[in-house]
Structure 1
Amino acid sequence: MAKNIQKSNKTYSKPNQGEVRAKKHLGQHFLKDEVIAERIGDTLTLEGYKNVLEIGPGMGVLTKYLIEKDVAVIAMDLDSESIDYLKENYPNKNLEILEGDFLKFDITQLFGDEQFAITGNFPYNISTQIVFKMLEWKDRIPEFTGMFQKEVAQRICEKEGSKAYGILSVLTQAFYDAEYLFTVPPSVFNPPPKVDSGVLRLTRKKDYSIPCDEKFFYRVVKTAFQQRRKTLRNSLKSFDLSDRIKEDIIFGQRPEQLSVSEFIALTQKLENDAISTDR
């Protein structure tokens, strides 16, 4: 366990990194830089919620900063060795330590029916799946922050016109405002990954409903980007476009050229063209 942290002059001691073995199959890279851990903790605005779920706490380098805040914290990890370490080293009345797989976990069991934020140093191998599950529960999650592989974090926050802009960008930004905050080098992890990491913040929009069928919107976006080099007139052929709608100028564009609002408008055009959402 880390020694006392002197916040006044920002001098920190490093936590003992040998207590839990990083497991490759779980995508574990333990953050060992206290300053960066505190910066990630401070990405939470604490606006509109009093609960925080930390995914993949490892040995608690971020957890220690979360439990200092005026929130209830659940630290969830799939690794039983990490769970045992946390229970031994971080007893705290504001902290619940939970062994579980977030991707399979029933969100309704967390914090009752209250709003909560999600943060963490996310395992690279499941980070995009974590985002997609978060989107399923957006009604409960007003804020989402944390660390990803840099290119994934950039992709989530990217705007139209970029090659990195894609499904993850559009579906996330339809409901959340996305900010890429800062880059983290491999040297601050044990073991160090082969790539840089990036920290982001997603803030749920005040009005996060969209004026079209949500499932159909997802289908349109995913189908469009499956053949991203083709125009929408070609990539959306499976929607049985009528001759009338195919003349719309939007269908002459490629998916990476459309903003999030234009994808919503595209979905509405398809709905109005009497395309069945059951196809």
Structure 2
Amino acid sequence: MTAALQVSGLHHGYFNRGQYTEILQDISFSVPKGSFVCIVGPSGAGKTTLFNLLARFMPVQQGTILLDGSADNAQRDKLGYMLQKDLLFPWRTILDNVLLGLDIHSRRDRRHIERAHEYLRRYGLEGYAHAYPNQLSGGMRQRAALIRTLMIEPSLILLDEPFSALDYQTRLLLENELLEINRREHRTMMLVTHDIGEAISLADRVIVLSHRPAHVKAIHEIRLTISETRTPWEARKAPEYHTYFDILWQELGLQMEIAGRMSASGSETENRDQQSLQATNFQ
């Protein structure tokens, strides 16, 4: 399968008061066209920094990033980027918000307006085209942000924890919509998430990053023996789901992190108990 994205030997860092801090260390991976790839890693590992480099928001210091085989910055127009916050403009209607990318490039026309209305119908926002963001729920706003991303017809969509602030039920609904878009429109998608279950239920491939300076710790091809038209909820019931979950849990070092926190909490409790005992004895 042809690579929509190829990253090779990527390094990134910054200087602060003469001291260099490395964030990304020799990152290499590929993303096949039409695939759904999730990136997981510890907090602060540099996942958002990686996405900002992929989107050409920051210059590449060392290494190569090829989008559809090209390193040309003009390829950035093929990227869609959806963030944790919907970033809808409060003074624009929902219709005008979803057409924003086209307005920036002076590409709005009747065909695009009709397509915007079709997306609004498909994602349950048909009656809100002329409403404003403050009149919508969080889930509805994220749907609008997703439509805005789709309207520019990107070949690769970067999703940086777009559903992290939503309730679980709404997250499942939007996860399903992402999966449907990936299947129906063959859009290549990359999702950053802290939710291991979300990664397993959505992805064809999961890339695990290490602690900073982040390197690729492991890459897993996700193979679930259930229907290819599965929903994310159904994927969580697959017999292989818990095996993948345990592997990723261990690779992320979460068990050690929890044990460390419990140990630290226990030490604090013990210290408080000793201080209370000393105070009682003193009295």
TM-score range relative to shorter protein: 0.3 to 0.5
Greater fraction of residues in helix: 2
Greater fraction of residues in strand: 2
Q: TM-score, normalised by structure 1?
A: 0.32
Q: Which has the larger radius of gyration?
A: 2
Question: Greater RCO between the two (CA within 8 Å, min separation 6)?
Answer: 2
Q: TM-score, normalised by structure 2?
A: 0.32
